[in-house]
Amino acid sequence: MKQTAPVRITNGRVVTASGIVEGGVRLVEGRIEAVGQVASQSGDEVVDARGKLVAPGLVDFGTFAIDKPACHFGGITRAALMPDQSPPLDLPSRVSYIAKSGKPDLWVHPLAAATRGLEGSELAEIGLMKEAGARGVATGRRWIGNSGAMLRLLQYAAMLDLVVVSHAEDAGLAGDAVATAGEMATRLGLPSAPAEAETLAVARDIALAEICGARLHIRQVTTAAALELVRAAKRRGVTVTAGVTPAHFILSDLATAEFRSFARLSPPLRSEADRQAVIAAIGDGTIDVIASGHDPRGPEDKRLPFADAEPGMAGAETLLAMTLTLVRDGVIDLPRAFDLLAAAPARLLGVAAGAIEVGCEADIALVDPEKPWIVDRAKMAATADNTPFDGQPAQGRATALWKGGVRIA
């Protein structure tokens, strides 16, 4: 699906890396041709933004399912898909298929499985999967406990200039835990693991990345101690980035009080102190990416006792609105919000998108940051409705969406 006529969006507030620019953008042949006060030209399709934000389409880094209606609702134009599929993305043919699966109205960037079958031991054919379209390599839902295998992975990925996406939970400590050790887990009688399960995993992975100069992205960093390790590593010059999902800066383990399995996540919800540490890390730049962690689970996975339910949440539709709460609370400004949601993930993937700049892909979202709505799982566009934000008032919605200059929502 190619853009057939130029599009000129006017009367908007354009979100750029340097601030908000009054005016609009002109989109030509799938690219951004001009930004700001754009002159009218014959043949342009004109869209009046009516004061809304003209923002980059979101780049959702590390989703577990490609759910187009949910992505379009949430203003997402690109999704980096985790390798935890059935079968896993551990062969070039599977990666190639996934890389084409979003066409024509969603960019899908597969993350190759780090090991065969995601079993954590034998490295997969990462070089061939890069040629097939992989934009990164990921350990999946599990941590690679074998330090030798992890070092080989990081060394190989460094040679290929691929980012390694790591899940940070020491499996020996985490075991079958479904909660973070502390007062709430004790009161509820839930199998729990200490927060240090994350700290140890982050420390090991950073140390190995530092040895070989690899690019390491820790998909979710949710504890104060682990965040301090990331800060220290960045100060030393280690090429490490950190991500988080809205659940870990909106909710604490208090959300598990009623055994509601929609709050069964991986990593589990943390203490209020850790939640506040995550917010501070977003504010000071320690956290680089906010992603949805979109993992829609049906009733067969969620309508179970809390300890038996599968982890995961449907997050694509709420990603933008939940991140905008940080703007209203003064934690970050709008350019920083869209760097977390779009520009930084695009840099990790090595794609010319995620920013309103001349020459970038014309992936554009019109966003009304004040539009109120209620998260209602009965009305969700996702294939499953397992959101921990059900019934919560939200503010901010994407009202129109373009992919490569072509309107898709």
Domains and CATH numbers, the chain: 57-352 (3.20.20.140)
Cis omega (within 30 of 0) for bond into 69? no
Could you give the 3-state DSSP secondary structure of residue 126? Answer: helix
In the numeric block, which tokens belong to residue 130? Answer: 């890069």
The per-residue pLDDT for 358 is 97
User: Using CB atoms within 10 A of its CB, is residue 81 exposed (0-12), middle (13-18) or buried (19+)?
Assistant: buried
In the numeric block, which tokens belong to residue 150? Answer: 């992890």
- Hunting for tokens 């835990």 — which residue is that? 177
The per-residue pLDDT for 208 is 98
Contacts 24+ apart (CB under 8 A), 296-305: 296/65, 296/67, 296/70, 296/382, 296/383, 296/384, 296/385, 296/386, 297/384, 297/386, 298/383, 298/384, 301/386, 302/261, 302/262, 302/264, 302/384, 302/386, 303/261, 304/261, 305/259, 305/261
* Angle, alpha carbons 358-110-179 (nearest 5°): 110
Could you give the 3-state DSSP secondary structure of residue 189? Answer: coil
Tell me the C-alpha distance between 403 and 409, whole Å: 9
The per-residue pLDDT for 39 is 87
Could you give the 3-state DSSP secondary structure of residue 379? Answer: helix
CB atoms inside a 10 Å sphere around CB 51: 10
Whether the pTM exceeds 0.85: the reply is yes
The per-residue pLDDT for 1 is 74
**DSSP output for 49-110:** -TT-EEEEPEEEEEESS--HHHHHHTTEEEEEE-S-SSS-S-SHHHHHHHHHTTTTT-EEEE
pLDDT one-digit tens code per residue, 299-327: 999 999 999 999 999 999 999 999 999 99
* Contact by Cβ (8 Å): 247, 317: no
Give me the residues of the chain with pLDDT under 50, please: none
Beta carbons within 8 Å of 262's beta carbon, 6+ residues apart: 302, 313, 386, 387, 388, 390
How does strand 58-63 pair with strand 76-81?
A: parallel
* Contact by Cβ (8 Å): 262, 390: yes
In the numeric block, which tokens belong to residue 42? Answer: 């014959």
* Contact by Cβ (8 Å): 362, 400: no
Distance of CA 126 to the CA centre of its chain: 22
Handedness of CA 166, 381, 107, 344 (dihedral sign): negative
